[in-house]
Amino acid sequence: MSAPIKLSDDVFEEEIGKHDGLAVVDFWATWCGPCQMIAPLIEQLADEYDGKVKVGKLDVDANQRVTARFNVRSIPAVLIFKNGEHVDTVIGAVPKAHLVEKIEAHLG
């Protein structure tokens, strides 16, 4: 089973900014209830899209630079990147089907 990669300010550019293909990043915090609600969905997506989509998690409290860079003000925020470029954002605890729909729209 594939798990989301743990991202930080230090590795974000290497892991996501230079990634060739689709990447999905969950911006979250330990104190955020809705973040805990979607955490299992993010794990499922990492497993189901293994080899097709890079899935990562970024703790907003510990990584202020990346959080500010993408103007993340509400969490959970799932940002979608294609070839290192930010192309879409999903805010809030949404159903898995909504995340899958967004991912599939950018995979093509």
Which one from 7, 24, 35, 75 is the annotated catalytic residue? 35
Q: CA 7, CA 57: separation in Å to the nearest integer? A: 6
Q: Give catalytic status of residue 32 as yes or no.
A: yes
Which one from 7, 23, 25, 32 is the annotated catalytic residue? 32
Q: Give catalytic status of residue 92 as yes or no.
A: no
**33-48 and 96-107 helices cross at what angle (nearest 10)?**
50
3-state DSSP assignment of residue 41: helix
- β-pairing, 22-28 with 5-7? unpaired
Strands (DSSP E) along the chain, which ranges? 5-7, 22-28, 53-59, 77-82, 85-91
List residues with catalytic annotation: 32, 35
